[in-house]
Amino acid sequence: MAEFALIDRLRQRAGSRPDVALGIGDDAALIEPPKGQQVVLAVDTLVEGVHFAKGVPASAIGWKALAVNLSDLAAMGAEPAVALLALTLPTDDTAFVDEFATGFSALADTHRVALVGGDTTRGPLAASVTVMGYVPKGKALTRAGAEAGDDLWVTGTLGDAAGALALWKSGIPMLRTGVLRERLDRPAPRLGAGLALRGLATACIDVSDGFLADLGHILAMSGVGADVEADALPLSPALLDAFPDTTARRALQLSGGDDYELCFTAPAKKREAVQAALDAVATPATRVGRITEGASLRLFDADGLPLALPPRRGYVHFIEGGA
| pLDDT over threshold 60, residue 38 | yes
**Is residue 128 within a helix (H) or strand (E), and if so which, with residue range?**
strand 126-136
Q: Which residues contact 209 (CB under 8 A, 6 or more apart)?
A: 257, 314, 315, 316
Instruction: Measure the CA–CA gap between 225 and 161, rounded to whole angstroms.
Output: 27
- In this prediction, residue 49 carries a pLDDT of 84
Query: 105-119, 172-186, 193-207: which has the highest mean pLDDT?
Result: 193-207
Query: What are the backbone angles phi and psi of residue 83, rounded to the nearest 5°?
Result: -140, 150
Contact present, 113 and 173 (Cβ < 8 Å): no
| pLDDT over threshold 70, residue 196 | yes
Contact present, 44 and 86 (Cβ < 8 Å): no
Q: Which domains does the chain have, with CATH numbers?
A: 3-136 (3.30.1330.10), 151-307 (3.90.650.10)
Contact present, 206 and 77 (Cβ < 8 Å): no
Instruction: Measure the CA–CA gap between 26 and 122, rounded to whole angstroms.
Output: 21
- In this prediction, residue 174 carries a pLDDT of 59
Contact present, 85 and 118 (Cβ < 8 Å): yes
Kindly report, residue by residue over 55-99, the tens digit of the pLDDT.
899 999 999 999 999 999 999 999 999 999 999 999 988 899 999
| pLDDT over threshold 90, residue 286 | yes
- In this prediction, residue 304 carries a pLDDT of 94
Kindly report, residue by residue over 227-239, the tens digit of the pLDDT.
999 999 999 999 9
- In this prediction, residue 318 carries a pLDDT of 37
Beta strand pairing call for 79-89 and 114-122: parallel
Instruction: Measure the CA–CA gap between 131 and 279, rounded to whole angstroms.
Output: 27
* pLDDT band for position 15 (cuts 50, 70, 90): confident
Average pLDDT, whole number, for the chain?
A: 91
**6-20, 34-48, 226-240, 271-285: lowest mean pLDDT where?**
6-20
Query: 93-102, 172-181, 187-196: which has the highest mean pLDDT?
Result: 187-196
Average pLDDT over residues 32-40: 96
**23-32, 153-162, 174-183, 289-298: lowest mean pLDDT where?**
174-183
Instruction: Measure the CA–CA gap between 13 and 155, rounded to whole angstroms.
Output: 31
Instruction: Measure the CA–CA gap between 227 and 251, rounded to whole angstroms.
Output: 17
Kindly report, residue by residue over 146-169, the tens digit of the pLDDT.
999 999 999 999 999 999 989 988
Q: Which residues contact 284 (CB under 8 A, 6 or more apart)?
A: 155, 156, 234, 278
* pLDDT band for position 319 (cuts 50, 70, 90): very low
| pLDDT over threshold 50, residue 16 | yes
- In this prediction, residue 6 carries a pLDDT of 66
